[in-house]
Amino acid sequence: MFGFGTTNSLTMDKPHPESLLDSAVQGSIGRPFDRIDGPSKVSGTATYAAEYPVDNLAYGFLVGARIGAGTLISIDADAVRSMPGVIDVVTDLDRFIRVAGQGGETQPPTQGVRDIAFMGEIVAIVVAESYEAARDAALRLPVTYEAGEGAYAFAAARAKSYVPPDGVTPAHFNQGDVDAAMAEAPVTIDATYVTPSQNSAAMEPHASIAVWEDDGSLTLYGAYQMPSTDASQLAKCLGLSAKKVRIVSRYIGGGFGSKLGIAPESVAAAIAAKQIGRPVKAVMARQQVFEATVRRSNTEQRVRLAATRDGKLTAIGQESLVSNQPGEDFFEPVGIGTHMIYSGENRLITHDQVPLNLVLSGSMRAPGEAVGMIGLECAMDELAERLGMDPIVLRKTNDASVDPEKGVPFSSRSLSRALDEGARRFGWARRAGPGEARDGEWLIGMGVASAVRGNMLMESSAKVELRPDGTATISSSMTDIGTGSYTILAQIASEILGLPVDRITVALGDTNDPPAAGSGGSWGAGSAGSAVYLACEMLRGKLAKAMRVEDSALTLKDGMAIGNNRSSPIGEIVGDGLEAIGHIKPGKQEKATTQASFGAHFAEVGVNRVTGEVRVRRMLGVFAAGRVLNAKTARSQCLGGMTFGIGAALTEELLHDPRNGKLVNRDLAEYHVPVNADVPQLEVHFLSERDVHANPIHAKGIGELGISGAAAAIANAIYNACKVRVRSFPVTLDKLLPGLPDL
């Protein structure tokens, strides 16, 4: 894969203190460039998965099971086959996938749809000459089932919980003796927090166009975050070698984890296209996105904290129950941030899985921290009150100087600095005691929470080509899910090669290009960005050689190469053109340091003491995530994360009928994500930081940092406003009303 001689490969075994992004002089890096893909998106020329012009296209509409558990008995295709425009009813009870794939998996998701594991499981696809004809027939298709026993209610199924295999974090971790520390400590908290199932609710529904080529290979235009591993999943589902599957995913209308692995429409479209001998497009209806892709698991978290009178934590316990389908390994890694954020000798962090016949649970934006920080950071607020201590002081008192479990240093960590800077900017000193601040019929409160999100580096590569006309092209299977990947990759190349950003073309999301890990886990910028960096570093070396100067004596700026008292347009010294592939992979630094981005959330809310309505009045996030590559796109990521936090705190909750698992709020009218009126002016401030252990661009993940802790800051502000502590999320007005003070 990585051609000898033209590849610059780096394994992060050592710190990388020098970065060309500091010595280069183009001035592109960090600047708030508008998205280079913006004009094509707003003018409608950017092709999303369902928008590729393909000849002879047939339209598919998916059919989801209408029982919660049991067996599929028959599909009466003849009943609809003669309807106008209908081409065929296609199914494959062995190869259709029962659930979506998990992110980064190269093995296929669970296949086979004879067994119905949840309501909405995709069992067939109706193909027609138009979307409307396919939908009409799909809705009329008679399917018979034999209903079986299913578990749909968490409360009833919890007794069947079991210890799942370890995931990105251990299922069970124990250090010291939390029980003993709780018994000895003068001040303790023992509280249980509940968070509901959620849906990523990306704007673009899952969609695939499957095109079989004459040589028996498959091209799939899809909306997928990780095309390289997705192609492997899809190939294995279809019994093809990975080389026979190409996924093209150039633009993605949001993913938030729901598009990390393949979803059922991809396999259905591919099988249908093969069967009818025409390309097939399958776009999920919104209800199918909710019912048949992936949810974030609900959680129940027992959080125990033990502290000395001066606020030193002696024990941290976070014991979680989460849920997934029987036989699925993924568990919501609730405690992943708890492992590293605060010091404290005795630690118990566990996850037990409750089997439920509901749609697959998988990764949704900041899997783990997004919900785990709700329990932990609300408990910290409760502890601060019990101690009579400022919640910021409590957090700073327990800011860990080394990883409290592994004993290794942090690669970079600015938690206390973020708390202090946030307090100053937010006016924390003006915070009143619980229930003391009023504005007419509104009770006003302020809350704080720490933010943490683990930083990951994933093996990635990218090709950069320099042309005689002084332009450059970047190509990689990296994706842009709306985060700004196109733009930051162009900025990195611009900076190092000394070319204006508008001379750089970026081609992403095609598995024919060098493989990258794609977008997930906030690793995209650091991983694909480093691959681009390494390719450009190699090209820079080649330019220096062509100029006959030492690398260190070469300056590249505004399309000119300057060195040895000579200057020349870069295009003129590249000959017929130059190319290099950059390749990064994680190494010893991953274990030698604990890597995470940190920050602090501040929220001010009003609670209406007549109606119990909560309004977020303002929020501030102060974040440190290594080098900020683009001030605008980075800020936008944090704004998005904080907005997710408002949803998690106040509105978002998937509701399942306990009799059959039917998802009753399966669209954007009934599943309430925050709308404009729910989101006040949000402020984001970045602390300057460099992380030499993370990667050569010194940047850490940012896409998920903004959500981690945000909901807790809001819940803590609600308590400060009205003295009502709600531990069951979302904090809706019915939960507040009984406790509100009399008028």
Residue positions annotated with a catalytic role: 704
Q: Can you give the length of the chain in residues?
A: 743
Q: Which two tokens stand for residue 259?
A: 């598009």
Q: Which residues contact 407 (CB under 8 A, 6 or more apart)?
A: none
* Residue 375 C-beta: closest distance to ligand MOS, Å: 19
Q: What is the dihedral of CA 210, 212, 218, 222, to 10 degrees?
A: -20
> 83 or 639, CB closer to ligand MOS?
639
Minimum distance, C-beta of residue 694 to ligand MOS, in the bound complex (Å): 17
If the CB atoms of residues 230 and 421 are measured against ligand MOS, the closer one turns out to be 230
Which CB atom, from 200 or from 491, has the smaller least distance to ligand MOS? 200
Residue 678, SS3 per DSSP: helix
DSSP state letter for 243: G
Report the C-alpha gap between 300 and 294 in whole angstroms.
19
What is the smallest separation between the CB atom of 156 and ligand MOS, expressed in angstroms? 29
When the beta carbons of 480 and 537 are compared against ligand MOS, the nearer one is: 480
Residue nearest ligand MOS by beta-carbon distance: 257
CB-count exposure of residue 286 (10 Å: 0-12, 13-18, 19+):
middle
The span from the CA of 116 to the CA of 219, in Å, is 29
- Continuous segment of H or E residues that includes residue 491: helix 485-497
The nearer residue to ligand MOS, 225 or 636, going by C-beta atoms, is 225
Geometric angle at alpha carbon 670, from 665 and 671, rounded to 5°: 75
Q: How far apart are the C-alpha atoms of 544 and 552, rounded to whole Å?
A: 9
Looking at the Cβ atoms of 593 and 708, the one nearer to ligand MOS is 708
Identity of the residue numbered 61: F
Burial tier of 688 (Cβ tally within 10 Å: 0-12, 13-18, 19+): exposed
Q: Which long-range contacts (CB under 8 A, 24 or more apart) does 634-637 make?
A: 634/484, 634/686, 634/702, 635/32, 635/684, 635/686, 636/484, 637/483, 637/484, 637/702, 637/703, 637/705, 637/706
Please say which residue, 260 or 654, places its beta carbon nearer to ligand MOS: 260
Ramachandran angles phi, psi of 296, nearest 5°: -80, 135
Bridge partners of 614? 607
Binding site for ligand MOS (CB under 6 A): 103, 225, 255-257, 260, 363-365, 367, 520-521
